Amino acid sequence: MEIGIIGVGHIGKTLALKLAAAGHNVVVANSSGPENIDKAVLATGAKAVTAKEAVHNKEVIILSVPLNRIPDIASVLASVPEEVTVIDTSNYYPARDLKIDRIEAGSAESIWVTEQLGRTIAKAWNAIGSQSLEKNGKPSGALDRIAIPFAADRDKDRIITKQLIEDTGFDAFYTGSLADSWRQQPGAPVYCTDLTLNEIQSLIGKAEKERLPARRDLAVAAIMERLNDPKANPDADFGVRLSRALYI
């Protein structure tokens, strides 16, 4: 597939490496220009381009930027045909993104994103830690293969997103529509807990929407106390243990 990725942080970089290695034609863009993209991002064949080039004539566009930057992407996507699948990987963290009234009032994060972009999206790769995404993929059929939850409203988006998740080394679990995508937001049992398909199936219905923000904020507080660095990521094992203790 022809894939454009906007954002080359922890998740965007890993997706570029994995999807290019899987045989897709991948281009990546950031906010400061292709010349500033780390060559390591391009090690498996992805190419660095401008944001405008990253969305031109693509079958799939992946947005891997902080949620508070989603409104800035709207103009870049304005000329992209509606049939193109756009996949968002972001999460809402008020301490980073500032408070967003619609989300605070209970709107699913993905619904807010569609409102900012003026188009539908799919939601994927938001509910796995960056180190797990990088290191813990396994071949299809492995009994302990981690599953990544995803949401989409259109059949085409669902089919494409499922295939790309599998191409990154994970099983894909469809959680339902974007309106129900809160079940894979921070604080939910399937969020960054590295579960198999069967485990997600048994836990997806146990998410309690009203309890997600408090659980999310407890996790942030615990991570900040441990790391004392808002830009750092916890090690994968600690992050999974913490998420399982607080969310399941």
Q: Tell me the per-residue pLDDT of 188-234, one tens digit each, with 9 for 90 and over.
A: 999 999 999 999 999 999 999 999 999 999 999 988 887 765 555 66
Q: Tell me the per-residue pLDDT of 59-69, one tens digit each, with 9 for 90 and over.
A: 999 999 999 99
Q: What is the pLDDT of residue 236?
A: 79
From the list 59, 66, 25, 57, the residue with the least C-alpha distance to 42 is 25
Question: Would you state the structure tokens that stand for residue 147, as one six-digit string?
Answer: 């599953």
CA pair distance 216, 96, nearest whole angstrom: 13
The stretch 100-122 carries a mean pLDDT of 97
Q: What is the pLDDT of residue 14?
A: 98
What is the assigned CATH class of domain 2-178?
alpha beta
Measured distance between the N- and C-terminal CA atoms of the chain, rounded to whole angstroms? 36
Strands 2-6 and 47-48: unpaired
Say if residue 97's pLDDT is above 60. yes
Say if residue 56's pLDDT is above 90. yes
Q: Tell me the per-residue pLDDT of 144-168, one tens digit each, with 9 for 90 and over.
A: 999 999 999 999 999 999 999 999 9
Q: Where are the domains of the chain?
A: 2-178
Q: What is the pLDDT of residue 228?
A: 67
